[in-house]
Amino acid sequence: MGERWQLRTSRGAIEARYVVVGAGYNNVPFIPAWPGRDAFGTTVLHSQNYRNGSEYKGKRVLVVGSGNTGAEIATDLVEHGAEVWWSFRTSPTILPRASLGIATQSFGIMLRPLPVKIVDHVVAGFGLVTVGNLSKFGVPRPTRGAYTGALRDHVLPILDVGLVTAIKSGQVRPVAAIASFDKSSVLLADDQRLQPDVVIACTGFRPALEPILGHLGVLDDQGVPLAHGPKDHAHAPGMFFLGYTNAISGNLREIALHARQLARLIATERKRTTVGATSN
């Protein structure tokens, strides 16, 4: 960690031995480049702009995305009297938010140190016992393990706040992934055509670090930093990233742990280099 970083900021240049990047995993809303979307005459809203379901009473709404945001918005819409289709590409792992009074995230904290494949099996079994098999309601059993999904694809299991009941009662209708749009309808991957009054894209966010750091070789092909917490990347010694993992044990908890570890590491390193400099 000998060199110093030169940063160009909106308030002038800064020189620093250490840089901690915490600009947010959910920095910029992302909507896939669906063919024909520009010609589609109906609103496509990103979840970022959704407030609550009150304005959608009696409307036909297509919710897109099998993450927690899509699940919670679909449920909220049903509670406000909307007619909901739920479109997704990858069948999600769905777990109860809590069982026997214990928050599911607590299990995540306990399971986290175990090998990924074992956690995938344990979580799949837990989902089957608690939520059940939703295949006959149009949600196939997930083929991707929950922990694998978190580590590889940055996707967390859905923690159910009412979606499962809404699916079982037919108030949320699962449908295939979006293939394209034309002027008045949405064409799905199974050739079904829908004519919703609004599409709500719960398709996530991107860290959008490429313009700032893309030239350093520290991002993966999804633009997510390759190094996390108190470990820096060999290409960028002294540069650290906080908040860019999707932890099954909870992101806020993970960020707090990593932040403390990182602060200690930098303090120790500074002490070491200061002592080194004065004794030379």
Ligand X SMILES: Cc1cc2nc3c(=O)[nH]c(=O)nc-3n(C[C@H](O)[C@H](O)[C@H](O)COP(=O)(O)OP(=O)(O)OC[C@H]3O[C@@H](n4cnc5c(N)ncnc54)[C@H](O)[C@@H]3O)c2cc1C
Site string for ligand X, 19-58 (x = CB under 6 A): ---xxx-xx-------------------------------
Candidates 18-26, 78-86, 125-133, 225-233; binding stretch for ligand X (CB under 6 A): 18-26
Candidates 73-81, 85-93, 224-232, 251-259; binding stretch for ligand X (CB under 6 A): 251-259
Q: Taking the CA of residue 142 as centre, how many other CA atoms within 13 Å lie in the half-sphere pointing to its CB?
A: 29
**Between 8 and 183, CB nearer to ligand X:** 8
Site string for ligand X, 74-103 (x = CB under 6 A): ------------------------------
Phi/psi-derived region of residue 24, left when phi > 0, alpha when psi is between -120 and 50, beta in every other case: left
| Residue count, binding to ligand X (CB under 6 A) | 13
**Between 17 and 154, CB nearer to ligand X:** 154
**Between 121 and 154, CB nearer to ligand X:** 154
Answer yes or no whether residue 249 interacts with ligand X by CB under 6 A. no
What torsion, rounded to 10 degrees, do the Cα atoms 176, 180, 185, 189 define? Answer: -20
- Which residues are near ligand X by CB under 6 A? 22-24, 26-27, 69, 212, 243, 250-253, 255
